[in-house]
Amino acid sequence: MRTIVCALMAGLFLLSPVAVQAQQDYPAKAVELIVPFVPGGGTDLIARLMSDYLGKKWGKPMLVVNKPGGGGIVGARAALKDSQPDGYTVLIDIHTTSSMHIGAFKAPQLTLADRKYAARVVRDPMVFAVKADASWKNFKEFSDWVKANPDQLVWSSVGPSGPSRYTAFDWFSQIGVDPVKTKMVITKGAGDSFAQLAGGHVLLSIHSVAEANAMLKAGKIRLLAVLSPSRVKYIPDVPTAEEQGVMKGVRVQWWASVAFPSATPDPIVKKWEGAVAEMVKDPAFLAGADRISMNIDFLPATEMRAFVEKEVEGYTDMATKIGIRR
């Protein structure tokens, strides 16, 4: 009986006029958008684009806070587990910190139960990038070289369960290369990966189209292939991996979403869902996305949840088959 009374009192507290008014007035102060990677990567780019739009819409500062480390898990934990579930700490969640992480670990540090999704904002294909002056002419030639010299391949990944590793291992399995013979270098995000690539510290970086945009336009890197069913409008001259006869199918993709701690009040999450739905139709926002080659692909909260649940199943199976689940 005491448990029931306590539960009722807690419910009354949550529905108190003060709490309801606080939710209606949200946001009443600055909001932190946690990016679990270093500046310059896709997660950081979309966060800054969103912060500009939503800051103007709501008239409150939207502060992008970079918290890299642990393949994105350090920042994700800070947002989902260590912050107050009041809507003033928002995680820019991606596959690395959710479905890929859960699929790669039998006891993941973060699960789907730890977050509430408001919406997906972006979905973007992966690209295989080398240094601008690399000798390989195309992805087929590069893949043949890797098959002959796996011990000489040094490639970057943002973490042990990130998209770079999933994509690389899928590629290795399709071309018949033992990944153990290659060398993976862990970086703090796509920005760091491409800096290391341009500096000659790694031979290959695998990230999204948008993440490659700045270094590509600066002439520092060259794209050998895009992992997509068809060529991408932002890089029309880059052939697909399948087009070059190297890989079949697309099993890895980059996306970014808005997520909150699981105890965050539903009205706040719904407010974000509605704001993002408006944002992705705004001409100024879309123009900004075009400037950074970001493919906007909105999903509302319920559909986003189902999308990630399906991805968890797929990445769990993939991680098991390619030997990275532990």
Q: Which pLDDT score is estimated for 134?
A: 97
Looking at per-residue confidence, does 228 or 251 come out higher? 228
Beta strand spans in the chain (E): 31-35, 62-66, 89-94, 115-124, 126-131, 154-157, 183-186, 204-208, 221-227, 254-261, 296-300
CATH code, 168: 3.40.190.10
Assigned domain for 16 exists:
no
Residues in the chain, total: 326
Of 15 and 220, which is predicted with more confidence?
220
Q: Within this chain, do residues 220 and 300 fall inside the same structural domain, yes or no?
A: no
Residue 212 belongs to some domain of the structure: yes
- Averaged pLDDT for residues 267-292: 97
pLDDT at residue number 13: 45
Identify the pLDDT of residue 20. Answer: 62
Number of domains in the chain: 2
- Kindly tell me if the per-residue pLDDT of 1 is higher than 60: no
CATH number, residue 316: 3.40.190.150
| pLDDT tens-digit map of 134-150 | 999 999 999 999 999 99
Summarised one tens digit per residue, pLDDT across range 147-166 is: 999 999 999 998 777 889 99
The amino acid at 68: P
- Based on the domain organization, do 161 and 208 belong to the same domain? yes
Residues whose CB is less than 8 angstroms from the CB of residue 314 and which lie 6 or more positions away in sequence, other chains included? 99, 103, 251
Would residue 20 count as lying in a domain?
no
Does residue 9 lie within any of the structural domains? no
Its domain, for residue 184, covers: 126-227
pTM of the model: 0.82
Q: Examine residue 147 and state whether it is found in any structural domain, yes or no.
A: yes
Mean pLDDT for the chain? Answer: 92
Residue 250's pLDDT is 87
| Position 86 pLDDT exceeds 50 | yes
What confidence category does residue 23 fall into, taking pLDDT thresholds of 50, 70 and 90? confident
pLDDT at 91: 98
Q: Are residues 85 and 135 in the same domain?
A: no
Does any domain span residue 326?
no
7: in domain: no
